[in-house]
Amino acid sequence: MTEELKIDGPTQARPEDAHAQGVLSREAARPDGPLKVSGRAAYAAEYLPEGAAHGVLVRAPGRGKVRLANRAEVEAMQGVLCVLHDDRMVRNAAQGTANEAPVQGVEWAEYVGQPVALVVAETPEQASHAAARLRVEAGGSKGAVTPGEGEVTDEDVTTSETGDFEAAMREGAQTLDATYTTPSHVSAAMEPHAAIAEWKDGCLTLHSALQMLKFNRNEIADCVGVDPGNVRVLAPYVGGGFGSKLGISAEAVAAALAARDLGRPVRVVQTRRQVFEVNTRRSETRQRIRLAADRDGRLTGLGHDALASNLPGEDFAEPVLQASHFSYAAPNRRLRQSAERLFRPASGSVRAPGEAVGVTMFEIAMDELAESCGIDPVEFRLRNIPETDPERDVPFSSHMLAECLTEGSHRFGWADRPAATRQRQEGEWWIGTGMAAAFRVNLLMEAEARVRLSPEGVVVETDMTDIGTGTYSILTQIAAERLGHPPDRCEVRLGDTDFPPGSGAGGSVGAASTGTAVWLACTEIRRQLAEAMGCSEADLTLKDGRATCGNRSLDIAEVIGDGPLEGHGHLQPGKALKKVRQSTFGAHFAEVAVSDVTGEVRVRRLAGTYAAGRILNPRTARSQCHGGLTWGIGMALTEALEHDRRDGHAVNRDFAEYHLPVNADVPDLDVEFVEERDDWAGPMQAKGIGELSICGSGAAIINAIHHACGVRVRDLPATPDRVLAGLA
Amino acid sequence: MKVTLNVNGASHWLDLDTRVTLLDALRDHLKLTGTKKGCDHGQCGACTVIAGGRRINSCLSLAALHDGDEITTVEGLSDDELSDLQSAFVAHDGMQCGYCTPGQICSALGMLGELSEGWPSHVSETLDGPVRPTREEIAERMSGNLCRCSCYPGINAAILETAEGS
Ligand code: FES
Ligand code: FES
């Protein structure tokens, strides 16, 4: 039996309040924590079987027809087993939820850095050495690599228009027309993409660093031409993903092909520099934002025109406008998104695709207009909160922006802020504060999970992954709460396609989607227990391994009898999101110091107040918000993947040159959750939290720079040279 | 070539290609995969181990250079019970994906040793006084260990608590 749920409308009941175990929505340590701190959690590259061979990918040095100039010579090198140059190898990682092979082929390189061969040898040292000797010739083909110069076809443009936008711009009491740019960003998860492929009797077992296994299984099967039923993908621990591991990537496909050819297991780990160019980057964006406000500071016109890029054949375009459709009220609106074809490494989802750069730049524009209206930035946003979705005639499922702004500004001490810029100086440092709102659409995805209850305890199984998001923790808590067990008697098994297909980790959907599937599976078990006890599920109380119904109380083991009870949960997103607009909300506040001498910016304080429905584990949720806030620091101040102007290649493709925020760049972070229950989010009333804090935190910093020293940065990141140019 | 590595108190005799890094010797040859490889170029700190009492990036060092050396990896920090520092990392949620975590922990151990020996850093007030384990000192000295999940608040809290407790 399967407990099915399609979310077509609100769930008003608050069944969780009847639960007795008291572990859900409470602070809890990760059950996987002890394994991770002792080095016992094993990641993809660490399942090295006996007799494995080692492969190293080789990149194309130019765009154009590919030729391996000295293949035979390399194949004769010590330890070399083969040089794979197979047209089923992939050009770049598959897009998230692609569910099929990405563009394949090695005869032609579409971008500089495309992997076009795999050198396999007995040892990693032999393979690296031989890979470095392989001479790949590719080039001669010109193609646009600079933003603004790529081809844009009609299919790559979407527009939506409401009211008379041009008139609003003409007649506004205050208007803004400014263009902002963001550079390419990379996920830069600490675990490089890695795969170990092993074939047995025509079946492939693949250990790989991936986020969405049910899709990844179909992708790899399609790449190598086998039935997905003959493929098992495992990823019980993944060293971060942030979008870069959504789809199957080059190392996994090459490993699978080589392992089949050689008849032995093959491990391929991308080098750090390969990670930067083979897996999808966040596209650079150019955003023209036009705003008009009346005398009272109410928006009358809202325009957002965004340009992003991708390689030909990729249908993903950074959805920059995702939140602009509903973030603020304005009767006259023009939104336009286009994607151009550039021959840079492929772009795709990086943490909070769309809002991360869209909300951030829009919130800078809002700060600029608030200033010209002479209205406090918090107040300006409060005045422009829409009653209903401003473009579709539907209500919000729940709208918590005002609460976040009010609570957040109170907590930060915003009231003491002088309105004017350049008011506070400490030695060479200008001090200022800034704020920005946060928006991130909330999504659910189909998910399944299986739960077994036996006298030994509870076991949860799903192919869902925990990429650091806290999935082990919250699924443990959900099962423990629903089935009345202490968490240490619940075991969660993840990351194996032999288990029922979860949602996968991405787009902040995991907790709510797969969590609800676990919830449903437990509902089925609760019903079986209630039946055995002769009562209804609603009257059943489960706590510490005991089942109570009215005045009957039994050990759950006694109720179960011989066999374990099994429940299977299946969640499908229904029509709910057609009927309402659903989002998560937040408010960011930052204090920065800007050096008058060097233009260096230091973040002194950074705070976020968020509403994301029911918070399942404040500790792991807070950690994810720390992550997003820190990414906001990186986006605002240091992160930019630079492309060579001649051939588009990623220049600064390692940690020495692409600057992630390090420990000393990050101040103590203040994260607060506003109590919210969103009835449209299913029985748990929980929404996604993994990405919200990168949606606008960078803008709070940029706005604080302006407040501190009067310099307005419109091109990210705000490196010292850019700030200094404004200070001069 | 033949190399003896004394890892976590046990001696291992290995016959290695001279190009094998200490990191790969640990991970691939001794199956001590707790030490992670994030970049292989000394840029991330995921591979930090304690060699001869000092924290080092094991990806930047050839195994052959450590013949006879005492090496401590994350696996050597606890047996059945976690060490105080490890427990503090769990309690303060000083990890998310966990990939940088063993490196953070080994680095923190080495760093606390440097602190207690009075090594100054960029943020120390004096060059020759005793140095206290403040938040600033810890953040400064742990900045060679990247964490893309950005668990720095939890990492610092865990290290601070451990330093204060000892
Ligand atoms: S793996 Fe050694 S510093 Fe990154
Ligand atoms: S915990 Fe993921 S990189 Fe630090």
Asked if the Cβ–Cβ distance from B149 to A191 is below 8 Å, we say no
| A496 and A605 in a common domain | no
Question: In total, how many domains does chain A have?
Answer: 3
Quick check: A550 pLDDT over 90?
no
Please state which of the ranges A352-361, A529-538, A584-593 shows the lowest mean pLDDT. A529-538
Q: With a 6 A CB cut-off, is B44 part of the ligand 2 pocket?
A: no
* Residues in a beta bridge with A292: A175, A301
* The predicted structure's pLDDT at residue A13: 64
Quick check: A1 pLDDT over 80?
no
Asked if the Cβ–Cβ distance from B40 to A33 is below 8 Å, we say no
Does residue A83 sit within a domain? yes
Q: Give the one of B20, B34, B155 whose C-beta lies nearest to A40's C-beta.
A: B34
* The predicted structure's pLDDT at residue B72: 98
Does residue A607 sit within a domain? yes
Does residue A310 sit within a domain? no
Q: What is the pLDDT of residues A203-223, one digit of tens each?
A: 999 999 999 999 999 999 999
**Hey, is the C-beta of B11 within 8 angstroms of any chain A C-beta?**
no
Cβ-Cβ contacts under 8 Å between A and B: the total is: 181
State the span(s) of chain B assigned CATH 1.10.150.120.
84-165
Give A-chain residues touching B44 at CB under 8 angstroms: 190, 272, 655
Distance between A192 CA and the closest CA of chain B, angstroms: 6
Interface test with A, best of B149, B151, B156, B162 (most A CBs within 10 A): B149
Nearest listed ligand to the Cα of residue B24: 1
| A633 and A603 in a common domain | yes
Domain boundary (A528, A543, A572) is at A572
Give B-chain residues touching A187 at CB under 8 angstroms: 148
| A385 and A491 in a common domain | no
Quick check: A18 pLDDT over 70?
no
* Residues in a beta bridge with A440: A584
Domain boundary (A278, A310, A327) is at A278
Range of the domain at A223: 44-142+189-278
Interface test with B, best of A26, A37, A474, A602 (most B CBs within 10 A): A37
CA distance A707 to A377: 11
Interface predicted TM-score (ipTM) of this complex, two decimals: 0.98
Q: With a 6 A CB cut-off, is B93 part of the ligand 2 pocket?
A: no
Instruction: Quote the DSSP letter at residue B29.
Output: I
CA distance A521 to A458: 12
Residue A662 · residue B146 · CB < 8 Å: yes
* The predicted structure's pLDDT at residue A17: 58
Does residue A672 sit within a domain? yes
Q: Which of A370, A360, A546, A336 is nearest to A455 (CA)?
A: A546
**Banded model confidence at residue B80, pLDDT cuts 50, 70, 90:** confident
Quick check: B153 pLDDT over 60?
yes
Does residue A240 sit within a domain? yes
| A564 and A475 in a common domain | yes
Asked if the Cβ–Cβ distance from B19 to A129 is below 8 Å, we say yes
Distance between A378 CA and the closest CA of chain B, angstroms: 27
Residue A243 · residue A348 · CB < 8 Å: yes
Is B149 buried (19+), middle (13-18) or exposed (0-12) by CB count in 10 A? buried
Tell me, what CATH number does A134's domain have?
A: 3.30.365.10
* The predicted structure's pLDDT at residue A709: 98
Identify the helix (H) or strand (E) that includes residue A575: none
Quick check: A12 pLDDT over 80?
no
Does residue A147 sit within a domain? no
The answer to whether domain B84-165 has CATH 3.90.180.10 is no
> How big is the CA angle at A244 (ends A342 and A439), to the nearest 5 degrees?
90
* Residues in a beta bridge with B15: B2
Q: Beta A136-137 vs A80-84: how paired, if at all?
A: unpaired
Question: Three-state DSSP class for A610?
Answer: strand
**Hey, is the C-beta of B57 within 8 angstroms of any chain A C-beta?**
no
| A527 and A593 in a common domain | no
Give A-chain residues touching B145 at CB under 8 angstroms: 663
Q: Which of A508, A420, A520 is nearest to A471 (CA)?
A: A508
| A662 and A682 in a common domain | yes
Percentage of chain A surpassing pLDDT 70?
99
**Hey, is the C-beta of B154 within 8 angstroms of any chain A C-beta?**
yes
Q: What does the pLDDT average to over A463-480?
A: 97
Quick check: A619 pLDDT over 80?
yes
| A462 and A435 in a common domain | no
Asked if the Cβ–Cβ distance from A29 to B77 is below 8 Å, we say no
| A628 and A544 in a common domain | no
Give A-chain residues touching B33 at CB under 8 angstroms: 39, 42-43, 46
State the span(s) of chain B assigned CATH 3.10.20.30.
2-76
Q: What residues of A act catalytically?
A: 691
Question: Three-state DSSP class for B42?
Answer: coil
Q: What is the pLDDT of residues A241-258, one digit of tens each?
A: 999 999 999 999 999 999
Whose tokens are 């491990």? That residue is A267
Asked if the Cβ–Cβ distance from A38 to B46 is below 8 Å, we say no
Asked if the Cβ–Cβ distance from A623 to B146 is below 8 Å, we say no
Structure tokens given for A405 = 């702004």
Whose tokens are 């990806």? That residue is B59
Distance A691 CA to ligand 2 centre (A): 16
| A206 and A103 in a common domain | yes
> What DSSP string runs through A77-94?
STTEEEEE--TTSBSSPP
Does residue A361 sit within a domain? no
Q: With a 6 A CB cut-off, is A468 part of the ligand 2 pocket?
A: yes
Question: For residue A462, how many other CB atoms are within 10 A of its CB?
Answer: 30
Beta-carbon contacts of residue B116 (< 8 Å; ≥ 6 apart): none
CA distance A383 to A379: 6
Q: What does the pLDDT average to over B69-96?
A: 97
**Banded model confidence at residue A714, pLDDT cuts 50, 70, 90:** very high
| CATH label, B2-76, candidates 3.40.50.970, 3.30.1280.10, 3.10.20.30, 3.40.190.10 | 3.10.20.30
Does residue A302 sit within a domain? no
Domain boundary (A261, A278, A295) is at A278
Whose tokens are 């040793």? That residue is B113
Q: With a 6 A CB cut-off, is B103 part of the ligand 1 pocket?
A: no
Structure tokens given for B89 = 């990392």
Q: Where are the alpha helices (DSSP H) in A496-651?
A: 510-533, 556-560, 576-579, 618-637
Q: How much is the mean pLDDT over chain B?
A: 97
**Hey, is the C-beta of B90 within 8 angstroms of any chain A C-beta?**
yes
Q: With a 6 A CB cut-off, is B100 part of the ligand 2 pocket?
A: yes
Quick check: A694 pLDDT over 60?
yes
Structure tokens given for A615 = 């918070």
Single-letter amino acid code for the residue at A721: D
